[in-house]
C-alpha cells in the first residue's frame, strides 16, 4: 500500500516541542514533509506576506526520515509555499501544531495554527489543527499522542466533508486524571476582555502590551469549552465560508 503524504506546519516555530512531537507521531503514519515558520508566529491568524519576500530553506533538526523546510513567512505562507513549490503532489493530509496553548472557542480567529489548517482545506486537502491547553515549553504531550494518531488515521481513512477542517483541543495533562474521551462540539461563544498593560519607555513615551482575560459566555453543554472543562478532547468542524446564512433575510429588511 502506498504511504500517505502528510504536510506538517505550526505557528510556534519549527524547533518547538509541540511540532517535534507531531513529527514523531506522523512519521508512523506516512511520508512527512515539514514546512514551518523559522520563528514564533503566534496570533498571526490568516496573515499572508504581501509586502515582504519569503525565504525558505532545507532544515535539519534530528535524524528522522521527514523532510523539513524552515520558512520566514506566516503559517499560511508556509502552506501556500508547500503546495506550490515544495511538494511534488497534493498531500493526503495537513496537520498543524501541536500548538502550545488553546485554540478553542474564539481563539480560532486569531490562531496561526488553525489558519494554516484552514488554508489547506481551501486547497482541498483534509486538515486538522491540534492544540494542547498548556503554554509551557515543557508541556507533557505523552497522553495526547495516541489520540492525535487515532484522529489522524480516521481522517486519512474517511476524509472530511468539503471545505471542513478539524479544530482539535486537548486538555492539559494532569496527574491521576485521564482524558475521558472525545466530543464533537460547536465553537463556544466567548471573547477576550482586553486590559492593555500601559508602560513608559526610557524616553517618556507610552507603549502598550496586549493582554487580557478569556471569558466564556456560553452556557450550553455542546461547546468546546464545556468539553475541555470536563476533561474531554474537543473537536469542532470549522469552515472558511463566513456567510451568516441565517441572517440574510433580516439584512434584506435593514438595508
Distance CA 155, CA 32 (A): 16
Which helix (H) or strand (E) is 76 found in, with range? helix 75-81
What's the closest the beta carbon of residue 176 comes to its own copies, in angstroms? 26
What's the closest the beta carbon of residue 122 comes to its own copies, in angstroms? 5
What's the closest the beta carbon of residue 64 comes to its own copies, in angstroms? 24
What's the closest the beta carbon of residue 208 comes to its own copies, in angstroms? 4
Nearer to its own copies, 4 or 64 (CB): 4
Residue-level length of the chain = 255
**Residue 77 region by backbone torsions, left for phi larger than 0, else alpha for psi between -120 and 50, else beta:** alpha
What's the closest the beta carbon of residue 121 comes to its own copies, in angstroms? 10
Distance CA 32, CA 25 (A): 10
Distance CA 125, CA 149 (A): 18
Distance CA 63, CA 160 (A): 32
Distances, alpha carbon 81 to alpha carbons 46, 47, 88, in Å: 14, 14, 12
Nearer to its own copies, 89 or 252 (CB): 252
Distance CA 71, CA 51 (A): 16
Nearer to its own copies, 58 or 65 (CB): 58
Nearer to its own copies, 62 or 198 (CB): 198
Distance CA 101, CA 132 (A): 5
What's the closest the beta carbon of residue 209 comes to its own copies, in angstroms? 6
Nearer to its own copies, 20 or 189 (CB): 189
What's the closest the beta carbon of residue 224 comes to its own copies, in angstroms? 9
182-208 burial, b for 16+ CB within 10 Å, e for fewer?
A: bbebbbbebeeeeeeeeeeeeeeeeee
Spatial CA neighbour of 154 closest among 166, 163, 170: 166
Nearer to its own copies, 51 or 176 (CB): 51
Nearer to its own copies, 48 or 64 (CB): 48
Amino acid at each position: 500500500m502506498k504511504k500517505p503524504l502528510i504536510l506538517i506546519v505550526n505557528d510556534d516555530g519549527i524547533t518547538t516541542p509541540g511540532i517535534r512531537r507531531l513529527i514523531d507521531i506522523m512519521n508512523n503514519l506516512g511520508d512527512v514533509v515539514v514546512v514551518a515558520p523559522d520563528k514564533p508566529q503566534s496570533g498571526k491568524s490568516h496573515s499572508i506576506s504581501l509586502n515582504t519576500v519569503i525565504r525558505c530553506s532545507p532544515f535539519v533538526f534530528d535524524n528522522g526520515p521527514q523532510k523539513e523546510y524552515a520558512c520566514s513567512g506566516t503559517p499560511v505562507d508556509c502552506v501556500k509555499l508547500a503546495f506550490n513549490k515544495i511538494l511534488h503532489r497534493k498531500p493526503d493530509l495537513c496537520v498543524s501544531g501541536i500548538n502550545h496553548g488553546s485554540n478553542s472557542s474564539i481563539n480560532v480567529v486569531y490562531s496561526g495554527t488553525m489558519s494554516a489548517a484552514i488554508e489547506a482545506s481551501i486547497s482541498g486537502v483534509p486538515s486538522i489543527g491540534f492544540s494542547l491547553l498548556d503554554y509551557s515549553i515543557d508541556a507533557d504531550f505523552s497522553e495526547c499522542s495516541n489520540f492525535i494518531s487515532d484522529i489522524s488515521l480516521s481522517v486519512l481513512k474517511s476524509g472530511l466533508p468539503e471545505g471542513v477542517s478539524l479544530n482539535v483541543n486537548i486538555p492539559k495533562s494532569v496527574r491521576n486524571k485521564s482524558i475521558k474521551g472525545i466530543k464533537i462540539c460547536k465553537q463556544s461563544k466567548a471573547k477576550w476582555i482586553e486590559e492593555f498593560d500601559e508602560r513608559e519607555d526610557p524616553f517618556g513615551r507610552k507603549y502598550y502590551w496586549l493582554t487580557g482575560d478569556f471569558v466564556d459566555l456560553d452556557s450550553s453543554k455542546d461547546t468546546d469549552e464545556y468539553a475541555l472543562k470536563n476533561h474531554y478532547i474537543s473537536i469542532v468542524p470549522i469552515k472558511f465560508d463566513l456567510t451568516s446564512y441565517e441572517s440574510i433575510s433580516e439584512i434584506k429588511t435593514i438595508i
